[in-house]
Every structure is written in C-alpha cells, then in structure tokens.
Amino acid sequence: MDVRTKIRLEKPTEEGEVCPVEQIPDPCALIIFGASGDLTHRKLIPSLYYLHKNHLLPDHFIIIGTARTGMSHDEFRESLKSGVREGRPGLFDDGSWKVFSNKIFYHPMEYKDLNSFQSLASVLSGLEQEHKTLKNRIFYLAVPPFLYAEISRNIGESVLSVQEGGYTRIIIEKPFGRDLQSAMELNKHVHRYFKEDQIFRIDHYLGKETVQNILIFRFMNAIFEPVWDRRYIDHVQITAAETLGVENRAGYYETAGVIRDMFQNHMLQLLALTAMEPPSRFNAVDVQEEKIKVLRSLRPFPMDRLEQSLVLGQYGPGEINGEKVPAYREEPGVDPESHTPTFAAATFFVDNWRWQGVPFYIRSGKRMPRKVSEIAIQFKRIPHLMLKAVEDKSIAPNVLILSIQPEEKIMLSFQTKMPGFKSCLRQVVMDFSYRFDGGALALDSYERVLLDGMLGDHMLFVREEGVDLTWALLTPVLDAMEQGRIKTSFPNYPSGTPGPAEADDLLERDDDKWRKL
C-alpha cells in the first residue's frame, strides 16, 4: 500500500525564511533576434511581462525585436499580446500591458546583411539615449542554430558588441553545436567578439525550481548529504518523458534526434547537479567548477559493446490518452525511412570516490504514456530483515524523487507499520509540492534565466568546457549511429508505451527496474 502524506507549508514567516537580498538588474536593452518566432511569442515576452508585473525589471528597460518580417512597432506589440494573455492566464491586465508594451520596439533586418546590423546599431543608440539604459546590451539569439555564427559575426563586425561604458552579453539557445568539432568551432567563432564571461549558453531546464533546489536540498540539509554516495545509494534514475511527438519541429528534429536534443544538455546537466561535490561557496564560478568535475569523471561508452550501455528507439503508431497518433515516420516533414531516434536509454558511471560503481540510468523519449521529468535516487535495501515470513524483496527500498514535471515537488518513500495487532508494513510517501508553498512568488524556467542573464549570473548557464565535455562523451555514439554501426530496426515501440523492451534489459542485468511511467 502506498500512503501519501502531504507536507504543506503555512504562509512563510519572517523568522522561517532565509533569503538573500533581492536584486533588480541594472538598466539595459534586450535585443531579440528571431522576434517573429514561436519562442519569442510563447516564452520570452510572456516571461518578461511577468517579471515586469512583479517589479523585477529595471525602470529603464527596453526590448527591441528583430526579424525579416516588415511591421511597425504597434503591429509587433499587438502580435505579442495574445501570447502574453495565454502564457500567464489570469495575470494579464490592460494597464500593466500598456506600460510594458511601450518599452517594446521592432526593427526589420536581414541577418546575413552587415548593413542591417549597422542600421540596428543606429536605432539602438537613439533608443538607449532616450530610455537611459546606460549602453547595457543583451543579445538573445532565438533563431535556428545555423544562424548563430552569422549573427554573432555581424554583431561583432558592426561594433554592436563593443562595451562602451556598459556591458554587452549574448544569450544563445541550445543546441550549441551538433558534435564536438562543430561546438568547438562555434565557440571559437563567438569568442572572436565575446569573452567567456559575456556568453550565456541557456538550458531552460536549469531554471526550473526543483532543479535549482537540488543543491539547496543536498547541501543545506545535514540529514541527506552523509548518505549521498555509493555506500547508501543503489542507483539513480533520471527520466524526461513526454506524450508529444515531433509536432511542428520535424525540420530540426530530423537533424538532431533525442541524443542531441535532450542528452547533451538537459539530461547530463541534471546528472552533474545530482552527482557534484559541495561547492565551497554558492556562486556561479564554484558551482560550475564542481559540475565540470563530474563531467570530466563520466566513463566513456564501451564502443565495442555499446548495446550493453545504450538503447535507441523510434515511436510507431499507437494511442495517447485514447487518441490514435501516427508513427514518427508518418509525421509531416519526416523522412518515411528516417533512422532518427526519438527515445534513448543509457547507463552512465561517474568514476570518482563518491560514486564508483553506482549506475546512473538516463532515459528520454517522445510519445511516452505520460509527461514526466524526474530524478529518482534509490537507496540500498536494508542489510538484514528482522521480521519473519517476509521476503527481503517484498520490502521496497527508500526512494527520493525530485519531480520536475508535470509538478515540481520532492517525495520520499519509507516503510511504516500499519495500525493493528499484526506487524504489517506499508510504504508511505512524504510529499512536498511547490503548489503549497505559502503563495510565494515562483518564476518559471525562462523567467529565471532571463533575470539571471540581466544580472550577469552564470549559475544556471553552461560553460564552454561543459559543452565540450558533453559533446566529447556523446560524439562517438553519434558517429556510430550515423555510420550505421548501431543496428536497430525502427520503429521499435508503439506510441503510448514506455519505450523499447530492450531498455528494460539495461536495468534487469543489475536486478533493477525502471520507475513506472
């Protein structure tokens, strides 16, 4: 029996809160490349509006959207309005939108034309003087990856990147490269115009509350850190499953696949946060360095017996929530004979003192039975069973679950005695959810990373060495896939199921099982 005990927080008191001083960013201009795109309309502008409503933006702040589409400032503002209404339902009001939208401007341009960037520089200079943004500039690349090098070059060649009394920063969306060589070339290219401390490589997963809370949970609670190692932990499972298919991203996904789309960034970043050593101080430099140490310690895949460490899959037709859905190869824009994987499960090992011999099982896939992202730390079974007539394996081990989606919460399972004369055991779950957190202001992932980008805080961004290390680990696997050296018959799992049957074998060899989706 699984009994859940809700831990609900009362409204926080001054005595119960330990908070750093809230910071408001300095005045700045945010220039968005790709302003007519889905990311800007669904995520960036709604997130910035929410920051504005909660008085987390500076008074002197402007947004300049750029794209090839020709439109006026007012037309651009109106095109953004519906996305803000839908992005934060219940929080929109015309008065605050009017104040916020008056800070938004639009400039049409061609990203491959240097003259367009020189024109942008002239427009930006005038707006900076008018709105007193102190020449602090943030360039956000919400564009397809093939434009990153071109745009960064033209920003540099048009001297937009020159720091004239203020700061200049560039925020780049994932994926950063498609293998080790391309990532190194892109880094080299961007570094011609921007120093490393000016570059913010975004991974929005790191902006989620539960992900940020991993470090606080581990290092600010003395009861957990002493058992956070190979002596007490049996294995770790990290899952990112979604019910959606490729949707309207076939062009991107066909060239990426699940390894590039999820493993190289989100999944390995979650692993690093889970496995890292305590930083000496809770700041970007020290946290980044400890994450890098984990990535350096990851054991390379055994390429001569890769099937023992990696399983790939591609969804076929099936049902999701009672509705029939097509196979990946039947999706619009997908090659009918595509070998792009939409599912991957892999075993990783961290070869250091703390984690030697502890498997980290990672899986991610599309068209799964339900949407879930979580880190599950399974502790070892009890060494001796005192109760008679009870099998060891009938006693479930303790599991600590850090849930990221669909709900951000933390759960811990443990055994208790059921009321009554008999010594009957049951598993109960202590469950903390951010939904019950006293109405505290919670930022979603893009709100958090946008705010940190304005504050110049690299804590939730990815360092150059981190990008190179993850690509170095995964590029041999990608090469083997693309050279046909990994023999897998696609599709090999129906939509609505938890992936290929072979994925279970990864855990069953060690007498483990995946958590149920």
Active site residues: 266
In the block, tokens 């991610």 appear at: 364
Triad 61, 62, 67: Cα angle to 5°: 155
Question: In a 3-state reduction of DSSP, which class is residue 365?
Answer: strand
Distance CA 315, CA 342 (A): 7
Quote the tokens at residue 509.
């060899």
CB atoms within 10 A of CB 167: 16
Distance CA 147, CA 155 (A): 12
Which secondary structure element, helix H or strand E, spans residue 80, and what is its range?
helix 73-87
Question: In a 3-state reduction of DSSP, which class is residue 422?
Answer: coil
Distance CA 517, CA 514 (A): 9
Quote the tokens at residue 193.
């115009």
Of 119, 134, 150, nearest in space to 34 by CA:
150
In the block, tokens 């980008």 appear at: 453
Distance CA 11, CA 142 (A): 38
Contacts of 142 (CB under 8 A, 6+ apart): 32, 33, 34, 35, 37, 39, 40, 44, 173
N- to C-terminal Cα distance for the chain?
Answer: 18
Distance CA 423, CA 332 (A): 58
User: What pairs with residue 378 in β-bridges?
Assistant: 235, 399
Number of H helices, E strands in the chain: 14, 20
Distance CA 449, CA 466 (A): 18
> Residue 491: what residue type?
P
Which secondary structure element, helix H or strand E, spans residue 74, and what is its range?
helix 73-87
Quote the tokens at residue 57.
């933006």
Residue 448's φ and ψ, nearest 5 degrees, are -65, -50
Rg of the chain's alpha carbons, rounded to an integer? 24
Instruction: Give a three-class secondary structure readout of 194-212.
Output: CCHHHEEEECHHHHCHHHH
